[in-house]
């Protein structure tokens, strides 16, 4: 809060509005529009909400110009290096790093919720064999609200907390079942002796007939991937969760809305789109030069997937971490990795290209995450599911924060109406 105001004058009517200026702990200030309509008769027009602050939040800070990403104040590179995904979950949910005993209690609580009701397994089995795992995920997360009636009072902080724990715990189980149904593999039960990430890997890849050998390199790569995708402030899917939840919708329905929003190629679907693009380039025999020329051609809808970001206009700090991880992982794996070589060439060519430099289009986190997931044997149609699993904690943290915000109201944007003026029905 500041004592500063901005005075807006309508030159035609002479009406003025005193707009309060608000400031957070970091980042640019905001103009409060609370009284704008009352004082001037105008709303604001901001397609894509790029200039609109929709809430106050203490969870994540991003400075897109400087390439900074902080969760509860901690830089993403430090969390990726020193923390674990479950610890980051605690941090996002509760606002502080846990001490040892808090972490153990949290971890045990999550473990008590890793199983799903047997009917959820039947529910997933009911999908067509060739259903996209994201289609199964969006349906199943929504369906959770029909199983856990005991904790759906959104006004009760304890209920909100139990729902958050359930979602964090069950997402790996559900995500793996979406994959295994697709492949015709039996569903594995969670193994609570394993870490969060190791448990997910066994849910995905173990078979009942033999022991499953964990790969520490794969587990480490996945742990970092999950940390990098855990939250990202008011992106499309998080804003969708807040908007859906603002009507009082239950947490499972609200998170299902977030999963749906994440599905699109401009958001969570980008890592799948990156691999599709790289494979298409490889198979068509197109060169890097012709690919870049297509991306720059305004008459061609083709865009370079994995490049550009709505907020990061310098570099994506997550991309820097993940690029390094990508090198380490691929060095550890045997054999030639032609897609990665192609990705590196494409990255280098764009960094040297005036069009991309001028528009500040740098590789984003998804440019590399697809390559890592592929190296971990995660099938391509599971990429966005992996993102959804990681982001669930971010979504539910924002949903919980919204419900404890005294200023929270139902979300309801306005419009500029461009349709017909009033007319009478004929006859
Ligand atoms: N390839 C070629 N040109 C591009 C690209 C691209 N990937 N991205 C933006 N541009 C151009 C765009 O044509 C425009 O050019 P001009 O100024 O000449 O009209 C300029 O750059 C600005 O683009 P914009 O569409 O106004 O930027 P935006 O902030 O609305 O869009 C974006 C951001 C991420 C949707 C977009 O960059 C894009 O479509 N990227 C590819 C998809 C992708 O990788 N998405 C993952 C985002 S990161 C994951 C996440 O956080 O969800």
Percent with pLDDT over 90 in the chain: 74
Note the pLDDT tens digit of each residue in 66-88. Answer: 999 999 999 999 999 999 999 99
Instruction: Please give the Cα distance from 176 to 200 (Å, whole number).
Output: 7
If pLDDT is split at 50, 70 and 90, which confidence band does 23 have?
very high
Cα-based torsion angle of the residue sequence 136, 384, 132, 183 in order, rounded to the nearest 10 degrees? -90
Q: Does the pLDDT value for residue 357 go beyond 60?
A: yes
CA dist., res. 196 & res. 172, Å (int): 8
- Cβ density class 55-85: b for 16+ within 10 Å, e for less: bebebbbbbbeebbbbbbeeebeebbeebbb
Burial of 24 (0-12, 13-18, 19+ CB in 10 A): middle
CA of 340 to the centre of ligand 1 (A): 22
* Distance of CA 199 from the midpoint of ligand 1 (Å): 36
Residue 253 has what pLDDT? 97
Directed axis angle between helix 383-403 and helix 270-284, to 10°?
160
* Chain segment 243-300, per-residue pLDDT in tens: 999 999 999 999 999 999 999 988 888 888 899 999 999 899 889 999 999 999 999 9
User: In the structure, which protein residues have their CB atom closer than 6 angstroms to any atom of ligand 1?
Assistant: 232, 235, 266-268, 270, 295, 303-310, 359, 361, 364-366
Q: How far is the CA of 300 from the centre of ligand 1 (A)?
A: 14
Task: Choose among 275, 282, 257: nearest CA to 383.
Answer: 275
| pLDDT value at 334 more than 70 | no
Question: Which pLDDT does position 335 carry in this prediction?
Answer: 58
What is the value of pTM for the model shown? 0.90
What's residue 368's pLDDT?
87
For β-strands 60-63 and 30-31, DSSP reports them as unpaired
> Which position has the higher pLDDT, 284 or 190?
190
Pull the structure tokens for residue 271. 């890592």
Nearest CA residue ID for atom 11, ligand 1: 359
Spell out the residues 6+ positions from residue 128 whose beta carbon is closer than 8 angstroms to its own.
Answer: none
Three-state DSSP string of 142-207: HHHHHCCHHHCCCCCHHHHHHHHHHHHHHHHHHHHHHHHHHHCCCCCCCCCCCCHHHHHHHHHHCE
For 51-68, what is the mean pLDDT?
A: 94
Give the position, in ligand 1's atom list, of the atom nearest the Cα of 48: 30
Q: Measured from the CA of 309, which atom of ligand 1 is nearest? A: 34
| pLDDT (0 to 100) of residue 314 | 82
In this prediction, residue 159 has a pLDDT band, given cuts at 50, 70 and 90, of: very high
Q: Which of 90-104, 146-160, 227-241, 244-258 has the lowest mean pLDDT?
A: 146-160
Written as six digits, the tokens of 253 are: 């329905």
Cα dihedral 182/184/187/191 (nearest 10): -80
- Catalytically annotated residues: 267, 309, 366
Q: Give dist(CA 240, CA 150) in Å, integer.
A: 25
Ligand 1 centroid distance, CA of 44 (Å): 24
> Is the pLDDT at 1 greater than 60, yes or no?
no
Indicate which residue's Cα is closest to atom 16 of ligand 1: 359
Can you tell me which residue has the tokens 């929504």?
A: 142
Mean pLDDT of the chain: 93
Residue nearest to atom 27 of ligand 1 (CA): 310
């Amino acid at each position: 809060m500041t004592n500063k105001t901005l005075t807006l004058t309508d030159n035609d009517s002479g009406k003025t509005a005193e707009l309060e200026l608000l400031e957070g702990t970091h980042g640019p200030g905001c103009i409060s529009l609370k009284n704008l309509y009352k004082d001037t008769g105008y709303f604001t027009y901001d397609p894509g909400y790029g200039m609109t602050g929709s809430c106050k939040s203490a969870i994540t800070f991003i400075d897109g110009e400087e390439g900074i990403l902080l969760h509860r104040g901690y830089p993403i590179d430090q969390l990726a290096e020193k923390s674990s995904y479950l610890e980051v979950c605690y941090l996002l949910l509760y606002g502080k790093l846990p001490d040892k005993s808090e972490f153990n209690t949290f971890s045990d609580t999550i473990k008590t919720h890793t199983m799903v009701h047997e009917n959820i397994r039947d529910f997933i089995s009911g999908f067509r064999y060739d259903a996209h795992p994201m289609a199964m995920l969006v349906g199943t997360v929504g369906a959770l609200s029909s199983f856990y009636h005991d904790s759906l009072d959104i006004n009760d902080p304890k209920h909100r907390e139990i729902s958050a724990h359930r979602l964090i715990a069950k997402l790996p189980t559900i995500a793996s079942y979406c994959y295994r149904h697709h492949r015709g593999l039996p569903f594995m039960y969670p193994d609570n002796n394993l870490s969060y990430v190791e448990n997910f890997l066994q849910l995905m890849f173990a078979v009942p007939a033999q022991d499953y050998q964990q790969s520490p390199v794969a587990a480490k790569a996945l742990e970092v991937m999950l940390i990098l995708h855990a939250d990202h402030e008011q992106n499309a899917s998080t804003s969708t969760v807040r908007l859906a939840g603002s009507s009082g919708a239950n947490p499972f329905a609200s998170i299902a809305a977030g999963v749906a929003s994440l599905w699109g190629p401009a958001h969570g679907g980008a890592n799948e789109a990156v691999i599709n693009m790289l494979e298409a380039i490889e198979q068509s025999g197109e060169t890097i030069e012709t690919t870049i020329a297509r991306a720059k051609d305004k008459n061609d809808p083709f865009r370079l997937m994995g490049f550009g970001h709505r907020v990061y206009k310098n570099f994506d700090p997550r991309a820097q971490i993940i690029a390094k991880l990508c090198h380490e992982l691929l060095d550890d794996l045997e054999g030639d990795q032609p897609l990665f070589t192609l990705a590196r060439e494409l990255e280098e060519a764009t960094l040297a290209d005036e069009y991309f430099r001028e528009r500040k289009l740098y590789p984003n986190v998804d440019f590399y995450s697809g390559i890592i997931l592929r190296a971990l044997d995660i099938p391509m149609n599971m990429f966005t599911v992996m993102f959804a699993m990681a982001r669930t904690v971010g979504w539910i943290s924002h949903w919980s924060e919204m419900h404890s915000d005294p200023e929270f109201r139902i979300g309801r944007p306005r419009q500029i109406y461009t349709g017909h003026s009033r007319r009478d029905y004929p006859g």
